[in-house]
Structure 1
Amino acid sequence: MGQKVESANTFSNFLPDNWVWDTECKPREVTLSADQTEAYFFIDPVTESIGTAGVRGNRGFQDGRHFWEIIFLEPPAGTSVMVGVGTQQAPLFLGNYQYVNLIGVNKESWGLSYKGTICHAGKSSQYCEPFYNKRTTIGCFLDIQGGTLTFFKNGIDLGVAFWGMDLVGEPLYPLISSTAAETELALGKRICSSRYLSLQELCCITLRRNVPASLVDCLPLPKPICQLVKNVYY
C-alpha cells in the first residue's frame, strides 16, 4: 500500500465539482434523493433485493484529476457494497438473484468492496481491511493524467488500487452498487484539479495511450524528449 497521508493535504489546490447521480440510466431498484446526492437500494418491499443494482454519476471523466467521497449512511452488509468507476458500458443491474461484485464484474469497471477487495474484469484481490462501520467515508481519486485509481478511507490514503486508467480511451463514470436491501450511500466532497494540462503533457499522455514503451526511442523525436516520456509517463 502507499504512504498513509491525509486527503485534505493531497487536494488542497482542487476546486469544487457538482456532479450528482444519474436519474436517466439507473435501475428502478435504486431510489435517489431529491438533490440526487443520496442513493437508496432495494427499499421497495415488492422488489426487495432480487440481485445487484448500481448507479453512476451524471458526468464522465476522460482527463484531469478527480476526487469524490462516498459516505456509508448505514453499516454495509450483504454479499457486496461497492464504490468505483466504469465506462458507459458497465452494467448497472443483474437480476435473477445474482449477488455479485458488480463494479469489476467485467473489463468495463473497477471497484472496491466493503470487504476490502478490489475487482476488475471478474477478478478480485485483497486491497485493505474490511470496513463495517456506519458513516465510513471512502474517497475515490481518479488521476487520469497519472493513470491511477486510488481509494481513501476516512481521509487516509490506502494506496494505488488500479493502474492504466489513462489507457481506457473513453469517459469513466463514478459508480456505486449493492446487493443488500436498504443500503444507503451519500455523496460527500466532490473536487477536481484546477490546473489545465500543457500541450506537452497532452502529447505525452497521447503517446502513452498509443505507443508501447519499447517503441518510444523509435519515434522521430529528440532523444531528451523520448527519455522524458519514458521516465515520467511509463
Structure 2
Amino acid sequence: MDLPTAWNLDDKSNYLSVDSSGLRVSYKYKGLGECEENVDSIRANQPIPLHCKLFYFEVEIIDEGENKYIGIGFCKKVVNLNGMPGWDYDCWGYYGDNGNFYCCSGKGNPYGPLFSTGDTIGCCLNFKNNTVFYTKNGINLGVAFRNLEGTLYPYVVFGSQGGSIEVNFGSRKFKFAVMIWEMNY
C-alpha cells in the first residue's frame, strides 16, 4: 500500500518552492490571496488508498505569512492547483485566516480557531465512518465534514506572501495521539 510520504514536486503551482526533503513548502508570490489568481497549492505524492480506513497528517505552520492565508485539506486529482481548497467541487479545506471550513463551494462555514505561526494543524480522514476532523496543537476540533468518499490527496494552499509549512505524513511522532483516538472511537 503506497501512502502519501511527501509533496509532489510535479503537482504544484508555480510560486511554491519545496525543500529537498519534499516536506517543507514556501510561498514566494507577491500577492495577498485576495483572488484565485493569487493562490498556489500542492498535492501529496500519492493518494490516500481507499482501503486505508484512517489517514492522518499534520502541518506545522513555520510562517503564517503576511495575512495568515493558508488552507489545509484534501482534494481529488481533477482539482485545479491554482484554486482554493474547498472553493471548487471535489476539494475541502480549513483556513487559518478565518477558521472556516470550505466544502466544495466558495462559502465557508465557521469551524475552528484561527491558526498561525507555531501551530500544528492535523487532518484526519476516517473512511470507516466517512468523516473528517481537524486538530490544532494536538486537540481534536470535532467533525468538519461528513459523507467523505472517493480517492483523495492531502492538499495545502497558500495566499500569504512568505507563508511556509512543513508536513508530517507519519515519519515522526504526531502531536495528536491518533492510535489512542482510533481505539476509543
* TM-score > 0.5, shorter chain as reference: yes
Q: Deviations over 1:149-184 (max 9, x none)?
A: 11000000000100011xx33x10000001111110
Residue 152, structure 1, aligned to residue 135, structure 2:
yes
Distance 2:65 2:161 in 1: 10
Q: Which residue of 2 aligns with 1:187?
A: 167
- Does 2:152 correspond to 1:172? yes
Name the amino acid aligned to 1:136.
D
Letter in 1 for 2:63: E
Q: Does 1:118 align with 2:101?
A: yes
State how far apart, in whole Å, the 2-side matches of 1:156 and 1:59 are: 26
Count of paired positions? 162
Alignment-derived partner of residue 60 in structure 2: 71
User: Are 2:114 and 1:130 equivalent residues in the alignment?
Assistant: yes
- The 8 Å contact of residues 18 and 190 in structure 1, kept in 2 or not, is answered as no
- Given that 1:152 and 1:158 are in contact with CA atoms closer than 8 Å, whether structure 2 keeps it comes out as yes
What TM-score do the two structures reach when normalised by structure 2?
A: 0.80
Name the Cα RMSD after superposition: 2.0
- The aligned residue for residue 5 of structure 2 is 19
**SS of the counterpart of 2:86?**
coil
Rg larger in structure: 1
Q: TM-score, normalised by structure 1?
A: 0.64
Runs of 4+ residues over 3 Å off in structure 1? none
Equivalent residue for 2:41?
54
1:90 counterpart residue number: 79
SS of the residue 1:25 aligns to: strand
More helix by share: 1
Distance 1:40 1:79 in 2: 13
- Give the distance between the partners of 2:169 and 2:43, measured in 1 at CA: 16
Asked if the contact 1:105/1:119 (under 8 Å) is kept, the reply is yes
Secondary structure at 1:190 match in 2: coil
Relative to total residues, which structure has the larger strand share, 1 or 2? Answer: 2
Shift of 1:79: 6.8
Aligned residues of 2:134 and 2:141 also touching (Cα < 8 A): yes
Structure 2: 5+ residue stretches without partners: 32-36, 172-177, 180-185
User: How far apart in 1 are the matches of 2:115 and 2:30?
Assistant: 24
Alignment gaps of 5+ in structure 1: 1-16, 95-101, 195-234
How far apart in 2 are the matches of 1:151 and 1:159? 7
**Identity rate, percent:** 20
